[in-house]
Amino acid sequence: MKALRFVGGELRIEERPRPRPAKGEALVRVMRAGVCNTDLEIVRGYMGFEGTLGHEMVGVVEAAGEGAERWIGTRVVSDINLACGTCERCVAGDGHHCATRSVLGIVQKDGAFAEAVSLPVGGLVKVPDEVSDDAAVFAEPLAAAFEIPTQVDVRAGHRVLVLGDGKLGLLCAMVLAGTGADVALGGRHDRKIAIAEGAGARRVKADEAPFDVVVEATGSPAGLREAQDRVRPRGTIVLKSTFAAPPDLDTNRLVIDEVSIVGSRCGPMDRAVAALADGSVDPTPLIDGRYGLGQGVEAVAHAGRRGTLKILLEP
Say if residue 131 is in the same domain as residue 15. yes
Relative orientation angle of helices 269-278 and 139-151, to the nearest 10 degrees: 110
CATH number, position 242: 3.40.50.720
Among 208, 131, 210, 199, residue whose Cα is nearest residue 165: 199
Residue 278 is assigned to a structural domain of this protein: no
Same domain? For 248 and 303 the reply is no
Range of the domain at 307: 2-138+283-314
Asked, for residue 274, whether it belongs to a domain, the answer is: no
| Residue ranges in the chain whose pLDDT is less than 70 | none
pLDDT computed for residue 248 by the predictor:
74
* Domain at 290, CATH number: 3.90.180.10
pTM value is 0.96
Alpha helices in 19-138 (DSSP H): 37-43, 88-91, 133-136
pLDDT at 246: 77
Q: In total, how many domains does the chain have? A: 2
250 and 196 in one domain? yes
pLDDT in tens, 130-166: 999 999 999 999 999 999 999 999 999 999 999 999 9
Coil/strand/helix, residue 227? helix
Looking at the fold, whether 84 and 172 belong to one and the same domain comes out as: no
pLDDT value of residue 222: 86
The verdict on 184 and 296 lying in the same domain is: no
Q: How far apart are CA 262 and CA 14, in angstroms?
A: 39
- Asked if residue 290 and residue 259 are part of one domain, the reply reads no
At residue 245, the pLDDT reads 76
| Same domain, yes or no: 202 and 85 | no
What's residue 171's pLDDT? 98
